[in-house]
Amino acid sequence: MAKPKIGIYGLTGCAGDQLMILNLEDELLDLLSKLDVKSFIMASSAHDETDLDIAFVEGSVSTEEGLERLKDIRKRSKMLIAIGDCAVWGCVQAMRNQEMSMEEKMRKVYNKEENFYDVLEPKGLSAYVNVDLEIPGCPIDKTEFLHAVLSLLHGDLPEVKDYPVCVECKLNEYPCLLVEKGMPCLGPIIVAGCNALCPGLGVDCIGCRGPIKDETNAAEELTILKEKGYDERYIENRLRFFGANFEGIAKISKMLREKTSGKGGE
């Protein structure tokens, strides 16, 4: 059987997900022997912009140039896989969305009226093109990536987790940091897959795998953390760190903005 032709690409992000693939170390050579890698610029300057079986894309769409690049990759690929939170949700750079326009920022920071940049509001890939699979994480877990590729090589789609970090936390019988210590843990709304790494170390989850699609009740998390005595601005910032583009979190930001400007009620 011919090896699948793949490409690994980066849009706006820190390239940490591509680095995690290279960090596979012990498995990397075996894995690459099963694939025909046409483009992976972080690993090799030799690349061929040809048709692909699978494209892996990290990074958010944050510029017109990035959007054109994504559309070209989508056109050439039978499958498109978003790797990492930037490609899934927009991640950290999406924190600037809804805050102020680029023109306002230019004025505030540089005291200039011009807008020199072709920037868009940072968003995940699925805001613009069809995405066949999303692998969350900031950065991705290299073993999760490996399992996904092995499933694809067998002609299957890998398991997509649709339950929260709390489930893994309870399976490990870790004490609940939110209930027992009042720590601002985001585990109830964050997609599982890390085996509750942070609570296992006594550290509250900050949400680096992003919210659970179609399941997350961010408003309830806000209520619980307020009841624990946290300030709603603090909670909002915590929620926005990785999930600013998530609808339920954006609604909280809008509600707080309106409250500050005197338009909204309690």
Binding site for ligand SF4 (CB under 6 A): 165-166, 169-170, 174, 176-178, 185, 187-188, 190, 194, 196-199, 205-209
Nearer to ligand SF4, 121 or 168 (CB): 168
**Phi, psi torsion values for 125, nearest 5 degrees:** -65, -35
Smallest gap from Cβ 173 to ligand SF4, in A, equals 10
Smallest gap from Cβ 6 to ligand SF4, in A, equals 27
CB 65, CB 38: distance < 8 Å:
no
Smallest gap from Cβ 164 to ligand SF4, in A, equals 7
CB 133, CB 146: distance < 8 Å:
no
Nearer to ligand SF4, 120 or 244 (CB): 244
**Phi, psi torsion values for 9, nearest 5 degrees:** -125, 160
Which residue's C-beta sits nearest to ligand SF4? 187
CB 191, CB 212: distance < 8 Å:
yes
The amino acid sitting at 199 is P
Nearer to ligand SF4, 7 or 16 (CB): 16
Smallest gap from Cβ 185 to ligand SF4, in A, equals 3
Instruction: Determine the longest span between alpha carbons in the chain, in angstroms.
Output: 65
Nearer to ligand SF4, 10 or 188 (CB): 188
Between CA 224 and CA 227 the distance in angstroms is: 5
